[in-house]
Structure 1
Amino acid sequence: MKRHYLCPLLMLSQLPLMATAAQNDHSAIERITTTASRVEALSTPLPVVISVLDETQLAAIAPTHIEEAMQRVAGANIQRGNGQEYLPALRSPVLSGAGACGGLLTLEDGIALRAAGFCNINELFEAHSEMAQRIEVLKGPGSALYGSNAVHGVINVVTPDTTQGGGLVAVDYGSFGYNRYKLRAGHDMGNSGLGINASITDDSGYRDDESVLQHKVNLRHRYHRGELTFTSGLTYTHLEQQTAGFITGFESYKDANIAQQNFDPDAFRNARSLRVWSNAEWQLNDGTLATTVYFRNQSMDFFKHFLPGTPLENNSQTGLGLQSLYQHQLKDNIQLNVGLDGEYTRADFLQNQQNATQGSAFLVATVPQGKHYDYDVNATLYAPFASMNVQLSDWLVTLGARYEHMQYDYTNNMLAGRSKEDGSKCGFGGCRYSRPASTKNSFSNLSPKLGVSYQYNTNNLLYANFSRGYRAPQAAELYQLQRQQSTANLAAEIANNAELGLKGVYQNSRYNLSLYAMSKHHTIYRDSDFFSVNNGSSRHRGIELELEHAVSSRWSVNFAASYAKHSYTNTQILNNININGNDMDTAPRKTANLDVTWQAFNNANVALQWHHVGRYYTDPENLHHYDGHDILSLRAQWQVSNNLALAARIINLTNTAYAERADYTSFSGDRYFPGRPRNAMLSATYSW
């Protein structure tokens, strides 16, 4: 078993409070984002809610995983797995399953990390969140700019514009063998510029036989002449991860010996991603024209330690895409936005089991050695959209719609059906895995949007929006079938959303209060017969508050909280229980995060963080649950000189035993990803 030693940073536990960010400027309501409009603009007047984690906050948090940053977003509940893995939630239960990642759109610099039909539940590890300029979170399907997968919202990781010059070198050293090295450098040549943003993470991990080695780099070039600006970028990431899986047994995470063990020492995930893009923006007399072309290439090798027979998955995708937007000022008070998005992707998938299955006679007979799936898909997507913003005195009305067409051309490279690779039959009625014959599938959807905001005084406004979101079935849901299912007749998931909110600045506070109601239909899931079906439905109701308040010149608080109920509305009998009306599993009703900051000196601050995850059910029948947890953490920053900054962090200050993720399955019972015990990190940054 590993033995670990905590850094000397524990001396900081004598400090009474911790800091997550410097004093906030509450003098104005304005907040610049790109997620709302694809060009830098004020999001405040728009009838949508966008949470922004800025560079100051991210530097203070210094997240080792994006989950640590997303704790500050009301309505988000990212559940960390092992290494860089996670399951996402945004105004939703935690999403899991073959295509559940399609419920949330993830971007870097406005470009989707994966093609629309080929998402991965962990795909945010391919964004450079460790060195982001900011992270923007659009909640709900509120914008015509985004189509399939933007059902519950959009997470956009914005990388820094290194072409403006300056830079930094930094090192993070932490408990359990955590090391991270950072470099940012750029050169501004007036009409042009270039720069680099890079990090290397080497984490030997808390649990036995786990580790993460990750490399990320962003390159950027800018050229400006007259009214035309070209900005181009490249992102490359490489992940080598030895994975520790679930531990099982009721509340086993409370046993330190069990929590540290790794019962899947052979599990791993190796992934590579490359994205290259170029954006051209023209400032015209009557508006702006922006186009972005991009190339995307990804591949991953993934040992499926959680499946019988532990097969190896190899998948890859290569694609080209175009985003375009024309903003035209029809009148002083009317702006028209029109555009066309398009994408072509070629993807392949191979699942191969190298060794014979171990276990019961049924598993041995139905899960054969050899290839289970071998297919490739050519996918095309095009999506015209339009929206209009009309300013009427203190009122802003936005109307929009997006039409999207997705087509899959699927080729099965094996024998169709549920036979073994050589065509022989499995016992007990047939093999577990079923391969549909080569085919084509297409999906078309129209999503209207309507929003209204009212500026009732200088710095505060009331808003409402009504919108429809959708997601086309993912390729995995259509072509990775099981048991007796030979085809999956699936339609797009549909979500109808209504939202009402207040946002703005009041005295020393910046706030955002939102109430939302969403109903989802045609939800895709795998039923008790292991068929991919389309008859699920659910209801989502919630209230969220984000508040930044300056108590005095030296004290400030940052608070984010959500109370939500996510419930099943479809009739499905599981273990003789109709789940209609039950809480959805892994959907805590209450989540909250509070940061209290003390500006001890002009060049030093300390802050204390409290993070709360409420009780939630771990199965759809609502027979099993996790009690939730409360975690305290301490952070401190010291600006030693104009160039040198030091920071220290102690996470899980009280050494609480908790689970990052808890769920229940009929074959394994209660299972958990244990949270890390008390751990610390020291950082040094030299900037210029």
Structure 2
Amino acid sequence: MQLGHVLSNGTTTRPAKSLVSLAVALSLSCVGNVQAGSDDLDDIERITTTGSRFAESDDAMPVVISRVGEDDIRLVSPAHIEEVLKFVAGAGVQRGNGQEYLPALRSQVFTGAGACGGLLTAEDGIPLRAAGFCNINELFEAHSEMAQRIEVLKGPGSALYGSNAVHGVINVITPDTTRDIGMLGFDYGSYGYKRAKLRQGKDFGNSGIGINASVTHDSGYRDGEGVQQEKVNLRHRYDAEGLTLTTGFTYTNLDQDTAGYVSGFESYKDADLAQGNENPDAFRKNRAVRLWTNAKWDLGEDKLLSVTPYFRNQSMDFRMHFLPGTPLEKNDQQGFGLQSLYQQPLNDNWRVDMGVDYEYTEGGLQQFQDGPTQGSAFLVATVPEGQHYDYQVDATLWAPFASLVWEQDAWTVTLGARYEYMNYDYTNNMIAGRTRDDGTECGFGGCRYSRPPSGNDHYSNLSPKFGVSYQYSDNTRFYANVSKGYRAPQATELYRLQRNQQTADLDSETATNVEVGVKGFYENLSYVVSAYNMNKDNFIFRDSDFFNVNDGESRHRGIEVELRYQFSPAWDLTVAATHARHTYEHSQVLSDINIKGNDIDTAPRTLANARVGWNVTANSRIELEWQHVDEYYTDPENLHEYEGHDLMHLRASVSVTDNLTVYGRVLNLTDEAYAERADYSSFGGDRYFPGLPRHLMVSAEYQW
């Protein structure tokens, strides 16, 4: 078997793989696709860019890259990315309010201290935020509503990704609008939801230019909530002999009035309480800009080079309505980086991949409270009005990586490693310590917020990767991988301290992952089955003294199934399901209970999504979706829990003409009272983000 790749423009640069491999690729392309008969090359051959910075088939890779295709995205027309990520086994995203969410991928839902940075999010391969400056909600900066596809790499199995890619990578791929395409669309839904969509491209032969844009207005179901959001992607392409040069620009703007939790046991079942808003002053304003240029060279003799410089600029104002005193946070980051990858065959069986990634970022954060705290005497005394934090961090990252790929007959073996060096240069612009901003002391032993003195921190990590896949038969491929992932402490964990903690002596979180699985097809059934066991050390949490510490340990183990079964030319079934357990493995006593061995809070053991599709005619389709979320504990002590839920959604599409398609959707078909997210706080008890009752959306898309 010889090594082979495809450039992003579809040009084959090496001999094609065997017909056996192509058959597997064709069969696996069914997993994650809704509609049959797509003429998009990516839909037919399951080409991905997340496993490699060159577009290539992922069938021989010893990892799992799940994929949500454009047909899925168009049929769902997601108001929130959670609506399509649930099509990926192991992904358990929980919506907050508006565009907010908490993510999970082969993990518990990430919450609290240390939650941010558990997985890497990107658009067109460029991380949405700089390493060390993540935001738990950052996927709202990707144009997922109008994506070409969404690729999800599970686990830390690739040397291309470093810090934050512990549990995997979510990569939103925007469409190539440099060809002759055009689309105008409108969505209209319940509770004042409206969205306009535009896609227009022009191909000039060896160059092209295009735009992909959407504008969303959502009045919201709950009192005082609402979303106004604009997103735009611009793209330019230039082709020369041996060179493809692509430039992309993304701008997103979010202006959101936020409704917080509703309080009280099962309060989400009371329609009046569920529609209320206990935090009418909460808001989030976020702006993000990304500019990148990717140059791909075919250097001859099957040598390929990719270089991508990029620039990011982001800022956010955020009312922290969940904290005493409801302070205002302002954060921003500006920086640039470079991604590179060089591939060269050593002979017919061996290939070497190598590169260096670099990033430089200037990030700042301020937290200010404009009035006195309301509540107990303790809160009033320890949470002062005025400035809480004001600091800047200049971060530098270097990451060389390399891997060897060997292919012989039915075997593919990869061996690689990534070394990453991260340096933080921190400047505190206020008085150090836990005083008020004027230097005076707080009562009850001191102020809640503590500011460490200016300083420097650096982290070095090495992550080895080993994987093997074996083509057992024409329709079955086994794979296995062993890999190590890591996550450097984030700037907010190091410099946004509390109580009398003056420095955060944190190490990088590390994870060792072992995974086995099988990919294949049988007649009209295609499937991927995976089993994994991950052990994490040094995960960060806030202890009973409100210190950021990282002597935590956890274990994550589970089995996942993604399959598609074609009953007949008209009927199909798509399933994404996981059964997993995520547990604390360190001793920590909370409320007189040692949590070691307990389920991590917000970790449902079973998640399942099933969709039955009926192609009524060649131009119309109906799809019924069932979503199951198992019960889960809402506190580390495992004393409180949410009962879980089952939802049904109905969708349909009709191509009225060759150019015009109309869509209709009934969401939460059975009008189930449920919680998008359930939580328990020792201060406020049970609390929930209520889900929407039954609601509708209709859409129309005109293409030319």
* Fold in common (TM above 0.5): yes
RMSD (Å) for aligned C-alpha atoms: 1.3
Tell whether 2:153 aligns with 1:145. no
C-alpha offsets along residues 289-335 of structure 1, whole Å, 9 cap, x if unaligned? 00000000000000001000000000000000000000111111111
User: In structure 2, how many angstroms separate the alpha carbons of the residues matched to 1:409 and 1:73?
Assistant: 38
2:617 partner letter: F
- Matched-pair contact (CA < 8 Å) for 1:23–1:556: no
Tell whether 2:420 aligns with 1:407. no
Tell whether 2:531 aligns with 1:515. yes
* 1:22 corresponds to which of 32, 35, 57: 35
Equivalent residues in 2 for 1:315-326, closer than 5 Å: 315-326=331-342
Which secondary structure does the structure 2 equivalent of 1:163 belong to? coil
Q: What is the match of residue 589 of structure 1?
A: 605
Tell whether 2:459 aligns with 1:446. no
User: In structure 1, how many angstroms separate the alpha carbons of the residues matched to 2:44 and 2:334?
Assistant: 41
Q: What is the match of residue 348 of structure 2?
A: 332
- Matched-pair contact (CA < 8 Å) for 1:29–1:504: no
Q: What is the match of residue 26 of structure 2?
A: none
Q: Which moved more, 1:279-288 or 1:437-446?
A: 279-288
User: In structure 2, how many angstroms separate the alpha carbons of the residues matched to 1:99 and 1:381?
Assistant: 20
Q: Shift of residue 20 of structure 1? A: 8.5
Aligned length: 670
2:313 partner letter: N
Q: What is the match of residue 555 of structure 2?
A: 539
Q: What is the match of residue 397 of structure 1?
A: 413
C-alpha offsets along residues 493-534 of structure 1, whole Å, 9 cap, x if unaligned? 000000000012221122100000000001111111000001
Tell whether 2:116 aligns with 1:101. yes
Q: Shift of residue 164 of structure 1? A: 1.2
Which secondary structure does the structure 1 equivalent of 2:178 belong to? helix
C-alpha offsets along residues 445-497 of structure 1, whole Å, 9 cap, x if unaligned? 00000000001122320000000000000000000000010000000000000
2:35 partner letter: A
- Matched-pair contact (CA < 8 Å) for 2:619–2:654: yes
Tell whether 2:561 aligns with 1:548. no
Equivalent residues in 2 for 1:186-205, closer than 5 Å: 186-205=201-220
Equivalent residues in 2 for 1:372-391, closer than 5 Å: 372-391=388-407
Which secondary structure does the structure 2 equivalent of 1:162 belong to? coil
Q: Shift of residue 99 of structure 1? A: 3.7
- Matched-pair contact (CA < 8 Å) for 1:29–1:510: no
1:147 partner letter: G
Q: What is the match of residue 675 of structure 2?
A: 659
2:449 partner letter: Y
- Matched-pair contact (CA < 8 Å) for 2:33–2:69: no
C-alpha offsets along residues 371-403 of structure 1, whole Å, 9 cap, x if unaligned? 000000000000000001100211100000000
Q: What is the match of residue 90 of structure 2?
A: 75
Q: What is the match of residue 343 of structure 1?
A: 359
User: In structure 1, how many angstroms separate the alpha carbons of the residues matched to 2:621 and 2:325?
Assistant: 52
Tell whether 2:67 aligns with 1:52. yes
1:239 partner letter: L
- Matched-pair contact (CA < 8 Å) for 2:312–2:335: yes
User: In structure 1, how many angstroms separate the alpha carbons of the residues matched to 2:63 and 2:83?
Assistant: 24
User: In structure 1, how many angstroms separate the alpha carbons of the residues matched to 2:353 and 2:145?
Assistant: 33
User: In structure 1, how many angstroms separate the alpha carbons of the residues matched to 2:226 and 2:526?
Assistant: 40
Structure 1, unpaired ranges of 5+: 1-18
Which secondary structure does the structure 1 equivalent of 2:274 belong to? helix
How much identity, in percent, do the aligned residues show? 63
Q: What is the match of residue 7 of structure 1?
A: none
- Matched-pair contact (CA < 8 Å) for 2:33–2:68: no
1:682 partner letter: V
2:297 partner letter: W
Runs of 4 or more, structure 1, over 2 Å off, are 23-30
Tell whether 2:190 aligns with 1:175. yes
* 2:253 corresponds to which of 219, 223, 238: 238
Asked which structure has the greater RCO (Cα within 8 Å, sep 6+), the reply is 1
Q: What is the match of residue 247 of structure 1?
A: 262
* 1:229 corresponds to which of 244, 251, 254: 244
2:427 partner letter: T
Equivalent residues in 2 for 1:426-437, closer than 5 Å: 426-437=442-453
Which secondary structure does the structure 2 equivalent of 1:450 belong to? strand
Q: Shift of residue 21 of structure 1? A: 2.5
1:143 partner letter: S
Q: Shift of residue 98 of structure 1? A: 4.1
C-alpha offsets along residues 28-84 of structure 1, whole Å, 9 cap, x if unaligned? 994100000011001110000000011111111111000000110000000000000
User: In structure 2, how many angstroms separate the alpha carbons of the residues matched to 1:164 and 1:644?
Assistant: 20
Tell whether 2:574 aligns with 1:558. yes
Equivalent residues in 2 for 1:170-319, closer than 5 Å: 170-286=185-301, 287-319=303-335
C-alpha offsets along residues 160-204 of structure 1, whole Å, 9 cap, x if unaligned? 000012110000000000000000000000000000000000000
User: In structure 2, how many angstroms separate the alpha carbons of the residues matched to 1:464 and 1:212?
Assistant: 44
Structure 2, unpaired ranges of 5+: 1-31
* 2:372 corresponds to which of 348, 356, 368: 356
Q: What is the match of residue 641 of structure 2?
A: 625
User: In structure 2, how many angstroms separate the alpha carbons of the residues matched to 1:273 and 1:81?
Assistant: 20
Which secondary structure does the structure 1 equivalent of 2:346 belong to? strand
User: In structure 2, how many angstroms separate the alpha carbons of the residues matched to 1:72 and 1:320?
Assistant: 33
User: In structure 1, how many angstroms separate the alpha carbons of the residues matched to 2:114 and 2:216?
Assistant: 29
User: In structure 2, how many angstroms separate the alpha carbons of the residues matched to 1:131 and 1:355?
Assistant: 41
Which secondary structure does the structure 2 equivalent of 1:59 belong to? helix
Tell whether 2:630 aligns with 1:614. yes
User: In structure 2, how many angstroms separate the alpha carbons of the residues matched to 1:653 and 1:435?
Assistant: 50
- Matched-pair contact (CA < 8 Å) for 2:114–2:539: no
- Matched-pair contact (CA < 8 Å) for 2:62–2:468: yes
User: In structure 1, how many angstroms separate the alpha carbons of the residues matched to 2:179 and 2:682?
Assistant: 55
User: In structure 2, how many angstroms separate the alpha carbons of the residues matched to 1:368 and 1:557?
Assistant: 57
Q: Normalised by the size of structure 2, how large is the TM-score? A: 0.94
